[in-house]
Structure 1
Amino acid sequence: MTGDAPLRILLAADFARSKAQRTFFSVERKLANGFIRLGHNVVCFSDRDTARESSLLRSSRRGAAKMNLKLVETARHYQPHVIMVGHADLVTGETWAALREAVKTVRLAQFNVDPTFRPKTMATFGERANHVDVSFITTGDAAAIRAIEPAPKNVHFFPNPVDGSVETARVFERQRNELELDLLFLGTRIGTRDEQIDFLDSHLAPDVRRRFAGGIRGSERISGLAFLNALATAAQNLNIPIDDRRPEALLYSSDRIALLLGQGTAAHTSAPARLDTLYDDGVLAFSSREELAENIVALSKDDERRRRIAQRGWQIAHSRTNSTRVAKYMLECLFALPLSEDYGWPTGPLS
């Protein structure tokens, strides 16, 4: 990578073609947007879709071998400068070697947005790190990275990206009584999520009446554009951990934090993750279920403060962690270039 010369980037991840593009707001799609805005050419290779399409039974596992061959064939024809993969668990060690053979000067990278307390997922991440040049993860906790086995090498933090063409709402511009909901949580019923929502239900009434939780306690999950639009119906949204009995690793969050702040809603997030070091006073942190309930009630009674916090978070997310800036940072790390600016998040290898 020299100067401003355009790159060819092969981005391999789950682009969910078979799911009617419902995940158009995924991290991999935002990164593709960022690379393109930087002037690069991007080919998106959907590994799981390709594997399913390669099997008569539409099984990704049964079609994995053919998918690996097609990935190498794509690289051979496209001759990318960069191959970046996200959660490509079906890509084998032999394929990494074949990619380097097919494209002699290629730079390989991976990115991951999962929490580090999932041993199986992190073992795969650590194994892939032995094949790529740089690994990126949405956790800035060096101790948590060092605990991964097998030990990954050259791991860098990257923030969940926001994209101005995806997160287009500005909830902070609307008063509480103009919005459908005071509080919303959309997620899955894993860990202690049900317990956390049950606790809030018993502690928020009667101060916060208009609230909804989707995807837990038997309620229907919302996906696609409906998911993104739903976030913009609520004055406050929850970014609660999977298991609040386990402290979040430094700077870790799922991509929910980018979606919430990007849409301009007030976001409540776990204090141990210290996301305030990335988003400053644009998030509201809580250390316990009781404090979370207190914070929600306080913002419900002080709508001007709610709107100020939400606007601050929106401004920081769209300026500091936008997809173009994140993509530029990742390329600078991948090509071992001097950083072009102070990005406002931890830089340098965590391992």
Structure 2
Amino acid sequence: MRILHVAHQQLRKYGHNRVSWAQKLYFGLIRNGHCVQAFSDRDVAAFEAPLGIRDLGKKKANQRLLQTVEAFEPDLMIVGHCDIISNDTLNQARAQQPNMAIACCNNDPLFVPVNVEKIHARCDVADAMFVSTGESLLAPFSGKRAKLWHMPNPVDSSIETADTSQQDQLATDLIFCSKETAYTSRGQLVSFLKDELKTAFKDKFTFRTPGSFNEPGVWGRDYDNALANSAMGLNLNRQENFDWYSSARMAQLVGNGLLTFTHAANGFDRLMPEETLVYFTGQEELLQKIREFYHDVEKRKAWASNARTFFHQEINSTLYAQYIVEATLQQPFSHDYVWLKSNS
């Protein structure tokens, strides 16, 4: 199948970027045998603009996408986070290629109002809309052209290559990477943990917080290395209590073998087997569980290994990509996708 993948490919990062869910989707599509043409809207806009000023290249980027549709003749267009591309352009693309289906993917949270507006807008033109929040919260977007689906954040065997679940001692005991401060108070929880863990363990416990608390952020290979040298990780969303919502951080932590702590309110116990993720409801419970797994290395390794194995077997980019294709084209599902059978 010929698939046009429209997303921010981060070409101008020149390798110095964090893990991209769009890149994982691209890899998965190719592994499934599809002919995939990538179109990076932001990069094309910058390349085409006078003096490289991206905002001046938006009109040209839309024109170039239509040119690509005409030349490539895709059977399916998958559209990620690409605000530069207008709905009018997508409608023109469909007119050029009447048999082409359009899938849109949104990996951002519903507690950000502008993101809700973006999903509503894309549902007008897409045949299928994939959102990284559980289907139980997608009803407000129904009634338009797009059929609504949940999509997970997958791991990729070529990206999440570390396995710290097999190691007894690592340089970092606990890590939390983040630079986002809007729509969140999670910094208070991290500050509490830093104080309590320092009091309890003095200098024996290493808690890294790249991107916050005056600690420089880590990107690209530095980010990979930070995870590959950490035993445990915090999966703290900017807000909790959104069914099956997590930032891509969870897949990155679990996929590299870190024991991962995440809030119970998001309902991942319906998706994950027992003794994989560590759930908490409050700061005292989280602190107690961090201390428990720090002292019990074998338990930490066993739970982290269970979670890593499950993700790599059942929530990987190859299955994820094929699911998006099959759901969009309304084909029979070729796999018993765990996020479908558990979503109840």
TM-based fold match above 0.5: yes
Counterpart position of 1:25: 19
1:288 and 2:279 matched = no
> Could you tell me which residue of structure 2 aligns to residue 212 of structure 1?
208
Amino acid at match of 2:47: E
Is the CA contact 1:231–1:263 (under 8 Å) kept in the aligned structure 2? yes
Q: Distance in 2 between matches of 1:132 and 1:348?
A: 25
Normalised to the residue count of structure 1, the TM-score between the two structures is 0.92
1:234 to 196, 210, 230: 230
State the alpha-carbon separation in 2 of the partners of residues 221 and 150 from structure 1. 42
Partners of 2:45 and 2:228 lie apart in 1 by 35
Paired residue for 1:255? 248
Q: Compare the two structures and name the one with the higher helix fraction.
A: 2
Q: Residues 311-346 of structure 1, C-alpha deviation per residue, up to 9 Å, x if partnerless?
A: 011001100001111111111101111222321113
**1:187 counterpart = 2:178:** yes
Other structure's SS at 1:90 match: coil
Aligned AA (1:196): L
- In the other structure, the counterpart of 1:200 is 193
In structure 2, distance between residues paired with 1:148 and 1:301: 46
1:346 partner SS: helix
The superposition leaves residues 120-166 of structure 1 with CA deviations (integer Å, 9 ceiling, x where unpaired) of 11201110111010011111142x32345997841100111111011
Distance 1:150 1:336 in 2: 18
Deviation of residue 24 (structure 1)?
6.7
Report what 1:225 is aligned to. Answer: 221
Name the aligned partner's letter for residue 99 of structure 2: T
Secondary structure class of the residue paired with 1:280: coil
- The Cα of 1:248 is off from its aligned counterpart by 2.6
Alignment check: 8 A CA contact 2:24 2:317 kept: yes
Q: In the alignment, which residue of structure 2 is the partner of 1:309?
A: 303
Residue 333 of structure 1 aligns to which amino acid in structure 2?
A: A
1:53 has 2:47 as partner: yes
Q: 1:102 to 1:242 in 2, by over 3 A?
A: same
Q: Distance in 2 between matches of 1:148 and 1:209?
A: 46
CA RMSD of aligned residues (A): 2.0
Aligned partner letter, 1:182:
D
- Alpha-carbon offset, residue 188 of structure 1: 1.4
1:11 positional shift: 0.5
- 1:3 aligned partner: none
Deviates more, 1:45-54 or 1:147-156: 147-156
Contact 1:237 1:267 in 2 (8 A): yes
Alignment of 1:55-94 (within 5 A): 55-94=49-88
Deviations 1:57-80 (A, max 9, x none): 433322111000001101110001
Q: 1:275–1:348: structure 2 CA closer, same or farther, 3 Å change rule?
A: closer
Deviation per residue, 1:100-129 (Å, 9 max, x gap): 022121010011111111111120111011
State the partner residue of 1:320: 314
Of 61, 78, 100 in structure 2, the residue corresponding to residue 106 of structure 1 is 100
Unmatched runs of 5 consecutive residues or more in structure 1? 1-6
SS in 2 for 1:25: coil
Aligned residues, how many? 338
- Match of residue 4 from structure 1: none
The reply to whether residue 173 of structure 1 matches residue 169 of structure 2 is no
Q: Is the 8 A contact 2:134 2:244 kept in 1?
A: yes
SS at match of 2:176: strand
Offset of residue 349 of structure 1: 11
Cα distance in 2 for partners of 1:278, 1:103 equals: 38
Cα displacement string for residues 240-299 of structure 1 (whole angstroms, at most 9, x for unaligned residues):
1214xxx33111101111111110110001111122222223110111111111110110
> Structure 1's 302 and 24: CA in aligned 2 closer, same or farther, altered over 3 A?
closer
2: distance between equivalents of 1:315 and 1:250? 23
Distance 1:235 1:249, change over 3 A: same
Residue 134 (structure 1) aligns with: 128
Contact 2:262 2:279 (C-alpha < 8 Å) held by counterparts: yes
